Amino acid sequence: MKKILTALVVGLTLAGCASSGNQSLRNETEASVSAKLTEGKTTRSEVQQMFGSPYQTSFTSEGEEIWTYQLDNLQADAVNFIPVVGALGTSHSGKRKQLVVLFNSKNIVRRYSMTDSDVSVKTGVFR
């Protein structure tokens, strides 16, 4: 019986975990990104080699390109497992890492920002 209970707890814990986005950010911190990127020196192709394709691209009014990398690591909140209540919506919380890189017209890093923040995603009655 103890083995079944342990397996059930482990299964529910793993079922409540989700990761989406650019996995290359998984082990990155502000310090590690700072060691890899140098404003005015690092090229667009070097950024792509280090971090892969961006999650999103956009442009400034001056035509400079902005690349955004994002990784969300979320876990299901306990309220999702309450019978009936869990059917009315979902609630997940965790961490979001986001790297935003601005390139100048010569495809050189002009500026960048790395953030690591708490995030909460709710649907249904939990909004």
Q: What is the pLDDT of residues 44-89, one digit of tens each?
A: 999 999 999 999 999 999 999 999 999 998 888 677 677 876 677 7
Most confident of 24-28, 48-52, 114-118, 123-127: 48-52
> In the structure, what pLDDT confidence band is assigned to residue 122 with cuts at 50, 70 and 90?
confident
pLDDT at 102: 99
Considering the entire predicted model, what is its pTM? 0.75
> In the structure, what pLDDT confidence band is assigned to residue 118 with cuts at 50, 70 and 90?
confident
List strand residue ranges (DSSP E) for 32-108, in order: 56-59, 65-76, 91-103
Residue 9 scores a pLDDT above 60: no
Nearest-angstrom CA–CA distance, 39 and 43: 9
pLDDT at 2: 55
pLDDT at 15: 52
Shortest CA distance to 85 belongs to which of 51, 125, 115?
Answer: 125
- Quick one: fold of 16-122? Beta-lactamase Inhibitory Protein; Chain:B, domain 1 (3.30.1450)
CB atoms near residue 75 (< 10 Å): 15
CB atoms near residue 91 (< 10 Å): 20
Shortest CA distance to 34 belongs to which of 113, 117, 127, 108?
Answer: 113
pLDDT at 7: 43
CB atoms near residue 16 (< 10 Å): 15
